[in-house]
Amino acid sequence: MKNPFKELAAKALEPELKEVLTFYEQQDNNLGLLQERLAELELALDETGWERISGTSNKEFSRSALRKINQLARTFWLKNPLIKRAVYTQTSYVFAQGVSIQAEHPDINEVVQEFIDDRKNRAELFEHQSLMLKETELQLFANLFFVFFRNISTGRVRLGTISPDEIEDIIYNPENSKDPWYYFRVWTEIRTDIWTGERRIEQKKAYYPDWRYKPFGGHPPYIGGVAVMDQTPIYHVAVNCLSDMKFGVSEVYAATDWAKAYTKFLEDWTTIVHAYSRFAMKLTTQSKTKKAVTAARDKLRSTLFSAGQENNPASTTGSTFIAQEGVKLEPIKTAGATTSMDDARRLLLMVSAGMGIFEHYFGDPSTGNLATAKAMERPMELMFRDRQALWSSAIHEILQYVVDSSVKAPSGKLHKLGTVEQNEYEEQVVVMKNDVENDNPDLQEKPINRRISVKFPSLLEHDIDTLVNAIVQASTTQAVPLKTITKWILQAFEEENIDEILDRLFPDGEGEDLSGPDTEASAVEDMMVKAVSDLSEGLRRMGGIA
């Protein structure tokens, strides 16, 4: 039996229940929308790539994001004139004049020059084109992974590189985040059978030790089931990164958005100009009727429009327009009607700031002046010197590894010059023996000098006359040996074989001390001035300088 009181109460509460249900439905919808928005924000965070692959830090881009940035940098370098010019400008200043490499110890220098002259090493790093390519790639990808292939018996080393996109992770010393131990490489290897033409694609993984990580007990054969390539260590060069980042970020990345915006601005400006070019003249008729306008249009229109055969061609350039009074023909005015092309200069300046290259290097000499034409701007000079210092250090480290390899190898040319020992950190180190064969008695009790000089020519062009005059002035104000003065002048003319020329000009130590104990000061000065003047004049004629 139904209770009439419950039915009446239900009918009375029905509007309120509907209102409550509607409220909760709205809340549920809002909650779903909020969850969707949070998911979109999380996805946006993922798209920026600000996650380290290990998930332990958010201080750098993920590997997938860095690969996208590298591809973007490659595309902009190939297509965008601003990025290409900026990269080439720095590359030219750093390596276009070459680099000289010389070890002080003759035996070490022989091994170093043999390594540099190896055809595969030259193709990888030491030829002009190779040096230019490596600097370009360092700007675009911010990471270079050199790999050493060492002959265990002879100690000879060949140099190679691994693509930055193949290095998936770097394992560091757990007690020192700045001490890399191993590089985890993942790559695809494609092999083709030369007889059948069949292609086999295989994904491979391997760990490569850092070139400085030399545990005295040796490397493990496997890490997590992945082989360790203990005989092929890696030397990593990274730029545009902080000390707590594993990988560098492309140096062109900061400028790509602005280069794209500048390109888009010019494209839009070109479109507007192209639209204006559709109408060059404006004709105003005497009559305001539609019939008169149609007649004027038909008079000027080409007959190709309807007849398919031209018998009313357009007037040639320079023709005279004749009309009745009230008919007016004038060119369409475009000045001030649209945005000027020069309004994009601020976008160009952002590209300039991002790349560190001054504005006039992008093809507008009007922004420069005599000072910038005679000497490069100081910030750019320091930036290029900094990059040369980086390369000098990198090449020096590579060559030091070559020296160590020759000392360690049983049949190495430098095996007799040093020994392999263990330091207090249980690391393998090469210790050079005393230089007992040195002609200088003071150096015979010291370890062999393994210093290797890596020198770059001056970035700026010097006034030869000014340098020579300064050398002459220095020689007349203080007792400087003639051989030293000659060396200065040869350096001023950027002569490559300075030592050979000095040995030929001053055999048996001549010129080391121009003045004797009984020589008067005035006579010494006269001899110095005459010798320097004759030498500088001869060198000036050889160099074709008037």
Distance between CA atoms of residues 161 and 167, nearest Å: 11
What are the two backbone dihedrals, phi and then psi, of residue 96, each rounded to the nearest 5 degrees? -65, -25
pLDDT of residue 493: 72
d(CA 298, CA 177): 81
Greatest C-alpha distance within the chain: 145
For the entire predicted model, the pTM comes to 0.72
User: Are the C-beta atoms of residues 94 and 138 closer than 8 Å to each other?
Assistant: no
Looking at residue 368, the DSSP 8-state letter turns out to be: -
Whole-angstrom distance, CA of residue 358 vs CA of residue 76: 19
pLDDT for 159: 97
Q: How far apart are CA 282 and CA 440, in angstroms?
A: 92
**Contacts for 55 with CB less than 8 Å, ≥ 6 apart:** none
Q: Report in angstroms the alpha-carbon separations of 412 from 113, 151, 359, 409, 434.
A: 15, 10, 52, 5, 18
Nearest to 254, CA basis, from 240, 242, 237 = 240
Residues (pLDDT < 50) of the chain are: 48-56, 514-521, 524, 543-546
Cα distance between residue 475 and residue 514, in whole Å:
11
The pLDDT value recorded for residue 108 is: 96
Region of residue 356 (phi > 0: left; psi between -120 and 50: alpha; otherwise: beta): left
Query: Measured between alpha carbons, how far is 60 from 53 in angstroms, rounded to an integer?
Result: 9
User: What is the per-residue pLDDT across 285-334, written as a single tens digit (0 to 9) for each?
Assistant: 766 666 666 776 666 666 655 555 666 676 676 666 666 666 777 776 66
